[in-house]
Amino acid sequence: MKRIRRHHIFILFFISLLWITGATSYLYESGRSLYAKIELFSTIFRTIQEQYVDETDSQDLIENAIEGMVSSLDPHTMYFTKEKFQEWNQDFEGYSGIGIYFDVIRGKITILSVISGGPSDKVGLHTSDKIIGINGKSAIGIKRDEVPLKLKGPRGSQVEILVERKGWKNPKSFTIIRDEVHIESVPYSFMIQPQTGYINIARFSATTEKEFQDALEKLDAQGMQRLVLDLRQNGGGYLESAVKVVDRFLPGGHRIVYTKGRVKNTFREYFSTSRTSHAHLPLVVLIDRASASASEIVAGALQDWDRALIIGETSFGKGLVQGQFPMRDGSALLMTTARYYTPSGRMIQRPYDQKTHHEYFTEIFNDDRRDQLEEDTSRPMKYTLILNRKVLGGGGIMPDIEFSVENDTLSDVIRRLVYSPERFFFTYVDLNMRSNLKTKIEFNDFLKSYHVNGNNLQKFLEYIRKQGFKISNREFVKNKKDIEFFLKLSMASVIWGDEARYKLQMTRDRQLMEALTHLSSSEKILKRAYAVGQKS
């Protein structure tokens, strides 16, 4: 095995430390002790290489050392290898492939949904199609993590797939030209009630501004007079994209967020512009304990300017700004360079000192620990900028109206059915319930009035037992309501697609239903804030 020389290690770590700190004067003053530590590292590295009981990989040792150094900082500073960085970046920049969501069911790549406008959509692939061959070789029995390696590739390259579809006598071959696939930042936007629009932002990516503007224009054309903006489960993304979303709702010249760090150039302020398009639209914003970072910038700015009513649960509490520092080998350091603050001066970051990373990332999902954090009297108090309402900093965005829901109310039987790799509901619907239903009923009628009949329930019970799933008659009857719902959910997905499935799921969304009851309150806050602003 090729060994890395001692003086190479010295140069590598001296430059790394110099670059990370950016404080050359400090390094000069403490140069002797720093040199000694780097010499120590080099000696330990060489000793391991030469005398450790098993042969070691130089690259792994160095990457582990880097990760150890990074892990001593805050929980959000991370080092990514080239492969991990590419995977992480897909959520925000997209990737090159064929544009499907899939699972491997009974050894076959099964398409769960097709990304609209993507390469697979263009050639006519459908939900529940099964890919059984790739580039002339069988794909039956392929492992799930091997699929992206076969289907992704450089933009413009070709991949040939063999597809099975119910109703076809023989499989058919498709040649697909790989292209850039952007994971939607705004996956759902529709009218949820007469005059009430609904927009879900799943992440803040490079395309969020355009997608969000397109969604607003679509809903305006359908008569939107008020809006529910859903930021639940949104872990953040690009700060600039969050700023551009807020910009649609505030008059020009309002500070949206500012950042401040140790280095002078990390102080930045972001203001609304003249691009405001919906300054007088009543607005409810939904957040939960997984809403973080850029989501908190949006919710915090709209709350501080008394521009929206915030409903749900206290958000995650991530107020640290990460800069991306790409390395020559394709790896990258995502390093915290500043903290961000809402317009009223709230720092949203939750305390992380004297906690392991595991404790920090899990405590927000522990109800008892959350109560302690929310009741902490030492948290700094601020006031909203128009109506002078009290708001707290140092621990996420607290909603104006708290409404929590239980994380999981499903029985063990239903969880086993839903999360089985066999995907029982999907496969049963695909085999037995999709035929001709789309021509017999419109989706809105299906949503409001369709019920799975007793014959299909009995056949489903026989089907899952034949597949080896153990369930008693008593358990089946006890969970009948949930079984009916998940069968209907799979029907919506298989026949009408993702948005149909999502709309059906919303009928069980208690937080969303609660938010809809407070739309009039959001209108009152908007009118009060406007009146006070006019006087001042």
- With a CB cutoff of 8 Å and minimum separation 6, the contacts of 386 are 305, 306, 529, 532, 533
pLDDT tens-digit map of 482-529: 999 999 999 998 888 889 999 999 999 999 999 999 999 999 999 998
Q: How far apart are the first and last CA of the chain?
A: 74
Check: CB of residue 337 under 8 Å from CB of residue 268.
no
What does the pLDDT read at residue 93?
65
What does the pLDDT read at residue 39?
84
Check: CB of residue 417 under 8 Å from CB of residue 469.
yes
What does the pLDDT read at residue 285?
98
Average the pLDDT over each of 76-80, 115-119, 287-291, 474-478 and give the range with the smallest value: 115-119
Q: Which residue in 74, 306, 315, 318 is the catalytic one?
A: 318
**Can you tell me whether residue 208 is helix, strand or coil?**
helix
pLDDT class of 245 with cuts at 50, 70, 90: very high
What does the pLDDT read at residue 383?
94
What does the pLDDT read at residue 518?
95
Instruction: Please choose, from the candidates 6, 20, 28, 14, the residue with its C-alpha nearest in 3D space to the C-alpha of residue 72.
Output: 20
pLDDT class of 438 with cuts at 50, 70, 90: low
Q: Which residue in 304, 306, 400, 498 is the catalytic one?
A: 304
Q: Extract the tokens encoding 176.
A: 């697909």
Mean pLDDT on 96-101: 88
Q: Which residue in 272, 293, 344, 490 is the catalytic one?
A: 293
| pTM reported for the whole predicted model | 0.82
Task: Indicate if 304 belongs to the active site.
Answer: yes
pLDDT of 210 above 90: yes
Check: CB of residue 347 under 8 Å from CB of residue 319.
yes
pLDDT class of 1 with cuts at 50, 70, 90: very low
* Average model confidence (pLDDT) across the chain: 87
Domain residue ranges of the chain, discontinuous segments joined by +: 6-72, 95-181, 188-404, 412-496
What does the pLDDT read at residue 475?
95
Mean pLDDT on 144-160: 88
pLDDT tens-digit map of 298-342: 999 999 999 999 999 999 999 998 888 888 888 898 899 999 999
Instruction: Please choose, from the candidates 187, 199, 203, 212, the residue with its C-alpha nearest in 3D space to the C-alpha of residue 237.
Output: 203
pLDDT class of 536 with cuts at 50, 70, 90: low
Q: What is the CATH number of domain 95-181?
A: 2.30.42.10
Sequence-ordered alpha helix ranges (H) in 222-263: 239-247
What does the pLDDT read at residue 29?
52
The β-bridge partners of 326 are: 332
118: left (phi over 0), alpha (psi -120 to 50) or beta: beta
Task: Indicate if 293 belongs to the active site.
Answer: yes
pLDDT tens-digit map of 351-403: 888 888 888 888 888 877 877 777 777 888 999 999 999 998 888 999 999 99
Q: Measure CA 390 to chain center.
A: 30
pLDDT tens-digit map of 44-86: 888 888 888 888 888 888 888 888 888 888 889 988 888 888 7
Element (H, E) at 83: helix 82-93
What does the pLDDT read at residue 7?
44
**Domain 188-404, what fold?**
2-enoyl-CoA Hydratase; Chain A, domain 1 (3.90.226)
Sign of the C-alpha dihedral computed for residues 4, 6, 11 and 16 taken in this order? positive
